[in-house]
Chains A and B, each alone.
Chain A
Amino acid sequence: MTAPPVTESAVWAAFAEIPDPEIPVVSLVDLGVIRSVDVSDGHVRVEFTPTFLGCPALEAMTRALEEAVSSLGAEPEVEVIADDSWSTDRITAVGREKLRAAGFAPPAPREASAPNLVQLRTAVFRCPYCGSTDTRLENIFGPTPCRSLRYCESCRQPFEQFKTI
């Protein structure tokens, strides 16, 4: 008896269970980093877009995707696409809510031009703890490339802001 053929939806469901290695409250599907899944004859081709090029979790994520496909009994082929097709706008609504609940302010929408200081200082960023918009930029950089540090003047809580990319 042979196993039923792997379907595209089964692959997506498996990927939805893979946590981001650095922010495990969100899955790789929530992050929107899986650009496409193509299934044919037990072969699964996945296009995967890194968040930041220097992300140290890149290899771990690629391996996790390969293992998920293998565990469905299919042959994985994961291609890392290093272009500008991923942006923080691709984080799903569910992913944003999970980030906020875990104390990360979700990213602001991407503008046509690359981000600049004026946007970073004047855009409204809401504190994920108390909801106040009275927050200020503390450091453009944070514990990982994808995060900035902000401070809430209302509840006096520092928090992390997902950078817009």
Chain B
Amino acid sequence: MNERLLGLADDELVIGWRDSEWTGIAPVLEEDVAFSSIAQNEIGHARAVYRLLTDDPDALAFDRPLEEYRCAPLAELRLLDWAHTIARRWLYEEADRIRIEALMRDADPAVAGLAAKIDREEAYHRMHAELWHARLRDEPRFREAVRELWPYALGVLPPEQRAELAARVELGEVPAVERGTHTDELAELWEEMTSVRRSAPAGARW
């Protein structure tokens, strides 16, 4: 199994799930719509990447034990305030862009082709993050949230891509919160995310 692709797909699944938690309770209706749509796209990307790795994307997404997930801790965090939520979206999109651009040059045409498709969709997520970043960048609460989440954002990327991320977001490199360890919050999310599938009788179809 390609660990880098699995990490990408798990990130997209889990952050999509976290984004969807704002459906119905975002501070303004426009953001309710935006976060729901972004979540749907991210989970769609996860499905497409899982399909490169397996014939049964649902099984790969939901039938693994917790410790086999390869998502970065940044995606897992349950963030309950808007400053942190926007800080994560902005940092995640900046990091995601760097790895997607690298995958667009992948030697495997299936990977490169899918990455190009994902990039076109992520462009709209980047615009959304860019608008919010421009609005909040001088707010102390937002700056504090970015500072807190920055070590997590570095952990989204492999070490060789981190200098580029630091340059893009104009922050200095610090020790990263690495992929491979999980936050306690993922366990709770996993329980919820897999509950329907675990409770369904074998062979159930939707």
- Hey, which bits of chain A sit against chain B, CB under 8 A? 52-56, 82-85, 87, 114-117, 120, 138-145, 149, 163, 165
Cross-chain contact of B41 among A53, A82, A84, A87 (Cβ < 8 A)? A53
What's the least CB distance linking B58 to chain A, in Å?
Answer: 12
Q: In the bound complex, what is the Cα–Cα distance between A117 and B93 (angstroms)?
A: 15
**A53 touches which of B110, B118, B123 (Cβ 8 Å):** B118
Tell me whether B21 is interfacial, beta carbon within 8 Å.
no
**In the complex the two chains form, is A141's CB within 8 Å of B38's CB?**
yes
- What are some 29 contacts across the A-B interface (CB < 8 A)? A52-B41, A54-B44, A54-B45, A54-B121, A55-B44, A82-B113, A82-B114, A82-B117, A83-B114, A85-B113, A87-B120, A115-B120, A115-B123, A115-B124, A120-B127, A138-B30, A139-B30, A140-B131, A141-B33, A141-B34, A141-B36, A141-B37, A141-B38, A142-B33, A143-B33, A144-B37, A145-B37, A145-B40, A145-B121
Please, how many angstroms separate the alpha-carbon atoms of A118 and B122 in the complex? 16
- Known contacts being A83-B114, A117-B130, is A52 close to B121, with CB within 8 Å? yes
B contact set with A: CB distance below 8 Å: 30, 33-34, 36-38, 40-45, 47-48, 51, 109-110, 113-114, 116-124, 127-128, 130-131
| Contact between chains at B124 and A53 (CB < 8 Å) | no
Knowing A53-B44, A82-B51, the reply to whether A165 touches B121 (Cβ < 8 A) is yes
In Å, the complex CA distance between A56 and B41 comes to 10
With both beta carbons as reference points, the residue of chain B lying nearest to A163 in the complex is identified as B124
Inter-chain contacts of A141 with B (CB < 8 A): 33-34, 36-38, 124, 128
